[in-house]
Structure formats: C-alpha cells, structure tokens
C-alpha cells in the first residue's frame, strides 16, 4: 500500500465513508502523523525483540566522493583521503539494537561494518592478507575504507522519514528528477502494525484539532501489541 492509500483509509475512517472536500485534515497532516506513529511502533517492536520484515526497510542510494575523515587533512595526499558520502545521511529510527544499517555494493555484495581503529589493527592479524572494504558512520556521513573506486553504495535501514528516502533516491538515480512522488511509493511498514497505526494516527489528528492533551500513546501501543502477541 502506498502512502496515498493509507491517507485515504484514515480519511474514510474519520468521515465514516462519506467523502468531504472540507475535511479538517490535509493529506500532509495525515502523512505527518502516519510517519510519527510508524516510527514509534517499529522502534517498540524492535525493542521487544520481535521480527521486523523487509517491508519496513528502505534502501538508499548513496553517492560517494574522495574526502577527508577529519579537518586536519591538508594537501593532495591521497593516503589521508577516504570515500565519503557526498551528503549527510537521513535520520535512522532509534532502537536499543542500533540502526539496523547494512551497506552493499550495487551488485549486492555486503560490505562489513568497520572503523578506523579496527582497520588499523587488522594489519597485525596473522589471518588477514588484504584489508577488506569496510564502512562506518561518523558525524552523519558514511565512510568507506580500503576502497577508493566505488562511486555508489546501497544503504539499507529503518529510516525515520520514508519520504526523505524516496526524494533522495530520485535525485541520485535520475537526471530529469522526475520520479513517483512519496505519496505514490510503497509505504514501508509491516502489515501487523497497520491497524494500531491507524488507531494512533486518528487519535493524534483528533488531539491536534481539538487541542486535547495527548494521551499516553506509547503505553497504549505497547498494551495493544502485548495483547496481540
């Protein structure tokens, strides 16, 4: 289901199936609260050690360029340069298990997560012949080490804003900049979370219009998931 489908479903539930042109809730407002609720539900699901399917993940095409790991690298010395994402990465969902990030080459080869420290001491390993390509994130930039030839990589993770990922992929993969809008793209969420996502989104919308103090949606969603589990 696309974001448009979810927004239409919310509007139908609010109007009880009677379409209205003067609805108090714009598609943009509904989409905002859908994103807020999705993030909350996925984080809670991950924190409870429950399986999260690939339906909730997105892949971001990341453009790389040769850059400095820090601001102390001066001159054209390539030994001081590493591959770095051209722009800062979008925000990840925050779970106790981390960001679930996975980096791959464009042909699907998984790149191991690493760090400058791990890479430094790998040189002293008795079993390591050649340093493997690795990646790490620093100051919201993606860095790729032991490889200066890659131009792009795929970053798969649970992102905070599905719309930002769709826009970034469009800008990175097309020259015309013409792609399906974020409302027409598949919305990344597991099917079992959709009913409670609708319920919580409608509560957020009601609170926003009537200035009702927000109820404890976090505990409410946890209780719902516990009763379902």
Mean pLDDT for the chain? 83
Model confidence band, residue 116 (pLDDT cutoffs 50, 70, 90): low
- Residues facing 214 on adjacent strands: none
Question: Comparing 111-115, 152-156, 188-192, 207-211, which segment has the lowest mean pLDDT?
Answer: 207-211
Whole-number Cα distances in Å, 181 to 80, 154, 197: 40, 20, 22
Q: Specify burial of residue 229 (Cβ count, 10 A radius: 0-12, 13-18, 19+).
A: exposed
Percent of the chain with pLDDT over 70: 76
Residue 188 predicted with pLDDT over 70: yes
| CA–CA dist 83, 68 (Å, integer) | 8
What pLDDT shows up at residue 31? 94
Across 32-47, average pLDDT: 96
Per-residue model confidence (pLDDT) at position 171:
78
pLDDT of 223 higher than 60: no
What is the chain's percent helix, strand, coil content, to nearest 5?
40, 20, 40
Give the per-residue pLDDT at 125: 47
More confident residue, 157 or 97: 157
* Residue 123 in this model has a pLDDT that exceeds 90: no
pLDDT > 80? residue 39: yes
The least confident of 88-92, 157-161, 170-174, 202-206 is 170-174
């Amino acid at each position: 289901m696309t974001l448009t489908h979810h927004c239409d479903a919310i509007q139908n539930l609010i109007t009880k199936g009677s379409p209205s042109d003067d609805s108090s809730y714009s598609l943009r407002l509904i989409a905002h609260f859908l994103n807020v609720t999705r993030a909350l539900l996925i984080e809670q699901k991950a924190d409870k050690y429950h399986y999260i399917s690939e339906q909730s993940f997105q892949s971001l095409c990341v453009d790389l360029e040769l850059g400095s790991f820090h601001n102390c690298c001066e001159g054209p010395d390539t030994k001081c340069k590493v591959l770095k994402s051209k722009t800062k990465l979008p925000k990840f969902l925050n779970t106790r298990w981390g960001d679930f990030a996975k980096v791959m080459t464009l042909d699907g080869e998984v790149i191991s997560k690493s760090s400058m420290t791990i890479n430094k001491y790998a040189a002293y390993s008795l079993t390591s012949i050649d340093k493997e390509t690795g990646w790490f994130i620093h100051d919201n930039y993606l860095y790729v080490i032991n490889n200066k030839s890659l131009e792009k990589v795929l970053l798969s993770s649970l992102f905070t804003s599905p719309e930002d990922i769709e826009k970034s992929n469009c800008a990175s993969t097309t020259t015309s900049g013409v792609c399906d809008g974020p409302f027409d793209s598949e919305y990344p969420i597991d099917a079992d979370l959709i009913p409670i996502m609708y319920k919580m989104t409608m509560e957020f919308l009601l609170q926003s219009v009537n200035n009702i103090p927000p109820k404890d949606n976090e505990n409410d969603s946890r209780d719902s998931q516990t009763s379902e589990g």
